[in-house]
Amino acid sequence: MIRLDRIKLLAAELFSYSYDHYADHVEVGNERFTKLMPKDIHILIKAVDEKWSENKISKELQIDKSEVKDYLKQFEVAKKIVNAENSSESFRNSIKYVIEESLNNNLTNEEIDKLVIQICYRVADFGYLLELENKKLCEYSKWLRREKDVDYTGVDLPNLE
């Protein structure tokens, strides 16, 4: 299995690729996945750190200025998913995002089917992350069963915000 580093995981998130699919492209040395998309991530990191203008971001990423806000929003979501404390929290964050996005649509039967597909992709990504951590799903059982407004500090788990 190809191990994606943080930059490539961010690229997978930003450009809506499953981790396995992205890793497959890295494994065969696809330039878009090994160099171009990671380059965009480095640009975005610098842009956010240095508070670049939308014009500068647009120019550096070679995208239309009207796309910059969406790129930055998606990049923030990608960071919340990739920078999570562990694969369980990454999974929780990704599922929350998928559901939030689908609620912006009128959930017809077709939209519900699309939501289920996206959740299945997120489960696959969770599996990829578990493999990277050399962990099993059952090791995150307590993490995954946390509920809002319950204090977990006595059992060494973070509370949900």
pLDDT per position in the chain (161 positions), as tens? 899 999 999 999 999 999 999 999 999 999 999 999 999 999 999 999 999 999 999 999 999 999 999 999 999 999 999 999 999 999 999 999 999 988 887 788 998 999 999 999 999 999 999 999 999 999 999 999 999 999 999 999 999 98
How high is the pLDDT of residue 104?
80
Cα–Cα dist 38/148, whole Å: 35
What is the identity of the amino acid at 77? V
The reply to whether 48 and 111 lie within a common domain is: no
Look up tokens 């597909």; give the residue: 117
b/e 90-116 (16+ beta carbons within 10 angstroms → b)? bbbbbbebbeeebeeeeeeeeeeebbe
Domain ends where: 50, 67, 83?
83
67 and 90 share a domain?
Answer: no
Let me know whether 110 and 37 are in one domain.
no
Domain limits at 105? 85-145
**Single pTM value for the model:** 0.93
